[in-house]
Structure 1
Amino acid sequence: MASDANQARALSFDAVAAQYAAARPGYPSALFDVVEELAGRALAGADVLDCGAGTGIATRALWERGARVIALEPGAGMAAQLRRAEPEVPLVRGEGNRLPFAPDSFDVITYAQAWHWTDPARSVPEALRVLRPHGALALWRNHADVRIDWVAAEEDRLAPFIHSRPVNAPEVFAPFPVQVTTREIAWSRRITVEERIRNLGTLSHFVVMPPAERDGLLDLNRTALERLFPDGELDEPYRCVLTVVRPTGIQA
């Protein structure tokens, strides 16, 4: 990881692994269509490494697309949750700055909600080392869609207490011999207000808060959402930002 503090923050999810698995959103099927388009190959039959696999949310989707996927996860609690949920998927303990694999091992490497926990000066060379010559590195992350009024209001309400993580910025790849393509997929899921609160409670800045402070903030947000959505349900909107990185000379 980029630093000891960053590593500790990344591993904080171990404490909420079951809640993470139950509350976090997945990804739209359109995302994987675009991954295949930009990678220049189908996921079915591909050797895929899912880095920072967490509880296996993306791992499961890749497996269902027919990929021969290996999950890589540093956290003991998250790995245990993944093993219970997806016992058929090979699981390796490790992280993206030091990939425990031989060169030319994978057709595709993925990072779902996980790239920002790495140090690109180390994780990019490692990905290029273990990718096959025509391989692709695919990074994606769900972002709350602040174009929606209630989401923007929630962001304003919680912003003083949230340390935002960087996006998958294309400029971090500038020093490397790669081409970078970025796409955005808008999507949403129908959930309850309580499910929204449980989802927020798995974000790292809430996980590491003192419990009384965390519970107070989430209760405040729950009350605001209950006023807006008296029937107790809402559409939770996302912008899923995808970045696909390929060695120079490989055309998307």
Structure 2
Amino acid sequence: MIRVCVTDDQTLVRQGILSLLRLADDVMVVAEASDGDESLAAIGRHQVDVLLLDLRMPGRDGIATLEALQERGIEVPTLVLTTFDDDELVLRALRAGARGYLLKDVTLGQLVGAIRTLAGGGTLVQPALTERLLRAVNALPGGYPAWATPTGTDPAIAHPIDDLPPPVPLTSRELEILRLLAGGFNNREIADAMYLAEGTVKNHVSSVLAKLHVRDRTRAVLRALHLGLLTERPPGR
């Protein structure tokens, strides 16, 4: 049974999600919260396998909640449910460690499937969300926000994503490391999760950046979204 905490400040939305999840045989809602503080308290009281988290909430919002989880060393796979009215907010959630992203108009099957994916250690980005995110990025002057310019490119003359050289295919291990990067894991955490030496992980991360022709982790995740690498299920799951 997958234990879930649902966090959303809109009562009707939250109750609707709860009602839907009760229809899934392998999902059990163990807690609900209306803001980040209640969510953190609930996670402290209950064993939670997956956190469903709204981004825009009064008080401690979704981003601040993700950051608090990281600061406290609490590793709960977090699925962001958003209306996607702020593209940069979703990028911030990615950098803050969210493992999945869905629009609030998804079906019950899509929602439960995403919960199962995160509970199994995977990551998931809804294709429609990915496409809109990429359109937003490409619509910016120069095609990239300041933090996401391609390797060796002056931000003032940055090229669009499509102008990057074709990527070199990643190995299965590099793909898994890329998914963990998207989840906000650092080298030590990746090493622990994959039973590797931290130096080995560092070498793999460098290889991923080189193959994707980017210069840091955030750019790697952004390009992975563009290429659809994070919408694929990990091998064997």
Shorter-chain TM-score: which interval? Answer: under 0.3
TM-score (ref. length: structure 1): 0.26
Q: TM-score, normalised by structure 2?
A: 0.27
